[in-house]
Amino acid sequence: MKQIIIFMSFISMLFGTAQNAALKVLPVDEYKTQIEKGKVQLVDVRTPNDYNSGHIKNAKNIDFFAASFESQFEKLNKEKPLYIYCRSGARSRKAASKLSAMGFTEIYDLKGGYLNWK
């Protein structure tokens, strides 16, 4: 039994299925309403090429795969809500795990990513 629990924990960690208390995935309409309320920390974690081919207005681009990913996020306020998105939602969930470990306490992800935004 203990081996099964360890194995399932490993699988959850590997595929990111474990719950992240700091992360809340929002449907497009709610996400849009939240970011339109005012000045928010809005970050696109896709590559610069993806970002340049289209992005949400006022989003800052911080590439999840860049070596500077963590140092760029260190410049943001960890106490304020952070809105992130990627192409489909998978990369932003991985980013949310990293960001939560860095101390961000309120992270909102766009359900379905930018593909769902259009």
What is the model's pLDDT at position 96? 97
What is the model's pLDDT at position 39? 86
Q: What are the residue numbers of the active site?
A: 86
Mean pLDDT value across residues 74-99: 96
Could you tell me whether strands 60-61 and 41-44 are parallel, antiparallel, or unpaired per DSSP bridges?
parallel
Q: Mind giving me the DSSP string for 78-105?
A: TTS-EEEE-SSSHHHHHHHHHHHHHT--
Percentage of the chain modeled with pLDDT above 90: 79
Q: What is the pLDDT of residues 77-89, one digit of tens each?
A: 999 999 999 999 9
What is the model's pLDDT at position 16? 47
- Cα 44 from Cα 115, distance rounded (Å): 13
Phi/psi for 49 (5° steps) reads -60, -45
Which of 21-25, 35-39, 86-90 has the weakest average pLDDT?
A: 35-39
